[in-house]
Structure 1
Amino acid sequence: MDMKDLELQVRPMLIAGRGAEVEAMVRPLLASGTGPVTLWALLAQALRVQGRVLEARPIQEMLVDALPGHLSTRFDLAETLLLLGEFERGWREYAYRYSLAHTTRIERKVQRPRWDGRPIPGKTLLIHDEQGYGDTFQFMRMVAWAKEKSQANVILEINHETASLARRMKGFDAMTVRGELPPYFDVHAEMMSLPMIMGLKLSDLPGEPMPYLSALPERREQWRKRLAPYQGLKVAFLWAGRPTHFNDANRSMSLEMLAPLAQEGVTLFSVQKGPKEEQALNPPAAMGKHVVSLSPEIKDFEDTAAILMEVDLLISIDSSPVHLAGALGRPAWVMLPLLPDWRWLQKRDDTPWYPTVRLFRQTEWGQWGPVIDRVAGALAEFKKAKGQG
């Protein structure tokens, strides 16, 4: 079998989480300690799929040394380093995140120099968001830090969907919405480049102020009235991410799988948006009386923020409302796949990014059942602690 045929055979296996099988196929071909770069890359991926990220790291470093201009290899290494909490080099490698198959559309060509982290009093710094809504909620905290360090006039350019929440945040002098022509600026920085520019360390998190976002009082009052008729524990939840996300199959599940959360004394309020939101309008019989769909009434993130302030808890897959809850200082439980996104680190049930967020991790690829059972048990305990059980 030639290299191309082997790669075509194992790619679907890696996507399906069959890393151990791929490792068994590839290792004998590398027994001498040498071999084609493609084989080493497949081995690194096979190890990552098994959750053996630390073992994959030296292979990825070797690949970057061999192929310094291969951006996807550098990006893979960045994700591994950040997942391991090695922020210093991780942020540097993360600068290679553009020009990949799934990032080309978000790269911006800005005809101004990037801010290098030094004070620039009297100058204007444009900070612009770049990726998903969750990324924006997570890294908004650094805008105020960048203003303090730069001593500059800061313009925040942000997507339309999160702009109203951002307007109530401190740390910038003016705001413009993505797609509009921004005012004049001297230097710029992508919001997710601020960690590299400012040398963000784990010990800097979560940082101040915390929380750094707030809900509109008038929206809170609307949702307080909407939820008032429901007794017991109020839990917002969602189970699926954006289908176009490159890793969505790894992080999402079906509503039916969350049946163990349907407990006496608990009302589950669906805040699911997108193609899967209709599932909550006709939930499985075992969940029926416990599920209330709020999705058709949610117009924007202001509604989501207000709901999160009025419920006791959010239970979710890795999604933007998790980051919104964390930024609001609200309790959230996140169900994570075996190989999670880099920001959740490894082998811990908390996160330095958000003091109010708790993590529930898979221990086997694709196996959500044990995760949901642990969440259901924790929910029963939470209910007792709240005096609802």
Structure 2
Amino acid sequence: MVLLPEEAGWQLSYAAVLNDLELPEEALSALQAVAKTSAPTPEYYFQEARAFFDAFKASQAIISYRKSLLMTPAAPQALNNLRLLEQSIGRMPDGVKSATRACVLEPGNTALQHGLTDALLSAGEIEHGQARNFWRHLKPEILIIRQGLPEEWNGGPCRDGQSLLICHEQGIGDEIRFASCIPDIQKRFGGPVILESDKRLATLFARSFPGLTVVEKVQRSDSNPPTAQYRPLVEEHGIGRYIMLADLQSFVRPSLEAFPRTAGYLTPDVTETRHWKDHFRATGKQPAVGLSWRSGMRRAGARHNYPELQDIVPFLKGADFLPVCLQYDMSSSERTAIQKASTKQLYIPAGIDQRNELDRVAAMIAALDLVISPNTSVLMIAGAVATPSIGLHSERGATFLGAKTDPWFPEECSLIKSGDGSWSALINEAIPYLTRMLSKGGRLK
């Protein structure tokens, strides 16, 4: 840029790097400099849209993407990005249209096909979305070659005495979410059911679902794509059919009306729960509220998915409670920053590995009066053990299935951050809910 200051290509590359570094204000400034010396191009509008979105200005980003598409109508990736923005501000039907157009332009693109599935489920077109949910298995980051499996289950009852295997997929949070379908699957199948599970959840699942056999996740190879050999497991347990964990919903959650109205389906250890209740009570008479503010895995778009540390400080000032840290990877610098920003000390549970001892974590969360978290495994565990919670969501995504609140967890107060809104604004909105829920024993109603 120094050697050739008039070369727009370098300036656009610079703006792209700033976007990659999640510096949207700086990217927009760089783009303004480009516009002074050359006519905007599709790439210009593409980078402008990225910057606007990361600056929590989704509506302006939509306009930029549309300008880009006017210049290059056959740009499926731009259409997919437009779909994401439309969903972020609640324009679900528009998101379906954009995703459909992208798939027409490039029907063999797995990511685009999965994007259409996501758009359909987000819009509440549950049957249509679930019918094409198989596209997720073809995404490179998810694809696993599972060898030695029998036929896929078609939803019918057990007729030959052989077992049904529920294959592990997704992360911890989604594993907990979709496990809520297991009791209904057991009734529907009427025979032995085997659940392949992350070993950290095995004890909790075995206690929670009588008659279920829980086995540790089959080891994956280091190849690309990974492979997993299921034949020994199939032979040991007499498995005659299999189904993927996230496909359970297609049989027992075909509509919003099919979701249970009662909260909680996981059974934490009674002794461990009592231990934590006594532990929290010993600190005083304040209600104990668990706090988490981000996932342990940093991904693209994190600015929209999770609040920053400073955003949650108003919670500490908004009501009288014991703040219990549920952020298993909190750094010492984060702890210091919270202590400087608030007179309230963050309580750090001692003697527990919150990342790996998930059975104990579930008991600890069951002992809390309330949990506040974005869309993380902490929020899923709270819903699964029926602890009231305030969920801080970046959008009403596919798991909402078109509902206004998360249908999987009836005890959750779901608050949604629009693509045009900041996390600080949403948290200021959440504080009155926090006050009301604490005054009513953790329940909003």
Instruction: Check whether TM > 0.5.
Output: yes
Q: Which runs of 5+ in 2 are unaligned?
A: 1-38, 220-231
The reply on whether 1:222 has 2:275 as its aligned counterpart is: yes
Distance 1:58 1:293, change over 3 A: same
Structure 2 counterpart of 1:258: 312
Distance across 2 between alignment mates of 1:3 and 1:32: 8
Distance 1:373 1:123, change over 3 A: same
The within-5 A match list for 1:278-357 is 279-280=334-335, 283-294=338-349, 297-299=352-354, 300-337=357-394, 339-345=395-401, 348=404, 350-357=405-412
Distance across 1 between alignment mates of 2:201 and 2:65: 45
Match of 2:137 among 92, 95, 98: 98
User: What RMSD, in angstroms, separates the aligned Cα atoms of the two structures?
Assistant: 3.1
Q: Deviations over 1:179-218 (max 9, x none)?
A: 365234121111101123556221110277x521111012
Range that drifts further, 250-259 or 377-386:
377-386
Structure 2 counterpart of 1:359: 414
Q: Counterpart amino acid of 1:343? A: T
Distance across 2 between alignment mates of 1:288 and 1:308: 24
Distance across 2 between alignment mates of 1:199 and 1:311: 29
Structure 1 counterpart of 2:434: 379
1:274 deviates by 2.0
Distance across 2 between alignment mates of 1:193 and 1:321: 23
Structure 1 counterpart of 2:108: 69
Structure 1 counterpart of 2:290: 236
SS at match of 1:269: strand
Q: Deviations over 1:90-122 (max 9, x none)?
A: 112221002324323x56445322111122321
Range that drifts further, 158-167 or 189-198:
189-198
Distance across 2 between alignment mates of 1:260 and 1:25: 34
1:296 deviates by 6.2
SS at match of 1:24: helix
Structure 2 counterpart of 1:177: 216
1:174 deviates by 2.0
| Contact 1:18-1:49 within 8 A present in 2 as well | no
1:75 deviates by 0.7
Distance 1:107 1:76, change over 3 A: farther
TM-score (norm 2): 0.76
Distance across 1 between alignment mates of 2:59 and 2:308: 26
Structure 2 counterpart of 1:153: 192
SS at match of 2:373: strand
Distance across 2 between alignment mates of 1:136 and 1:354: 14
| Contact 1:273-1:295 within 8 A present in 2 as well | no
Distance across 2 between alignment mates of 1:291 and 1:77: 42
Q: Counterpart amino acid of 1:228? A: R
| Contact 1:268-1:291 within 8 A present in 2 as well | yes
Distance 1:175 1:207, change over 3 A: farther
Q: Deviations over 1:246-283 (max 9, x none)?
A: 55442222332212222453111111112557623662
Q: Counterpart amino acid of 2:423? A: W
Distance 1:360 1:179, change over 3 A: same
Distance across 2 between alignment mates of 1:110 and 1:275: 41
Aligned residues: 383
Structure 2 counterpart of 1:138: 177
Q: Counterpart amino acid of 2:155? A: G
1:340 deviates by 4.4
Distance 1:34 1:330, change over 3 A: same
Match of 2:425 among 331, 355, 370: 370
| Contact 1:126-1:155 within 8 A present in 2 as well | yes
The within-5 A match list for 1:13-52 is 13=51, 16=54, 17-28=56-67, 35-52=74-91
For the pair shown, the structure with the greater C-alpha radius of gyration is: 2
Distance across 1 between alignment mates of 2:397 and 2:78: 24
SS at match of 1:98: helix
1:346 deviates by 5.4
| Contact 2:256-2:401 within 8 A present in 1 as well | no
Q: Counterpart amino acid of 1:301? A: L
Distance across 2 between alignment mates of 1:344 and 1:326: 14
Distance across 1 between alignment mates of 2:155 and 2:418: 40
TM-score (norm 1): 0.86
1:56 deviates by 1.8
1:312 deviates by 0.9
Distance 1:332 1:386, change over 3 A: closer
Distance across 1 between alignment mates of 2:352 and 2:274: 15
Q: Counterpart amino acid of 1:139? A: F
Distance across 1 between alignment mates of 2:105 and 2:441: 56
Structure 1 counterpart of 2:155: 117
1:228 deviates by 1.9
Distance across 2 between alignment mates of 1:291 and 1:39: 43
Distance 1:159 1:146, change over 3 A: same
| Contact 1:305-1:325 within 8 A present in 2 as well | yes
| Contact 2:121-2:401 within 8 A present in 1 as well | yes
The reply on whether 1:274 has 2:329 as its aligned counterpart is: yes
| Contact 1:234-1:266 within 8 A present in 2 as well | yes
Q: Counterpart amino acid of 1:356? A: E
Distance across 1 between alignment mates of 2:350 and 2:295: 14
1:321 deviates by 1.6
| Contact 2:369-2:441 within 8 A present in 1 as well | no
Q: Counterpart amino acid of 2:51? A: M
1:176 deviates by 0.9
| Contact 1:215-1:309 within 8 A present in 2 as well | yes
The reply on whether 1:213 has 2:279 as its aligned counterpart is: no
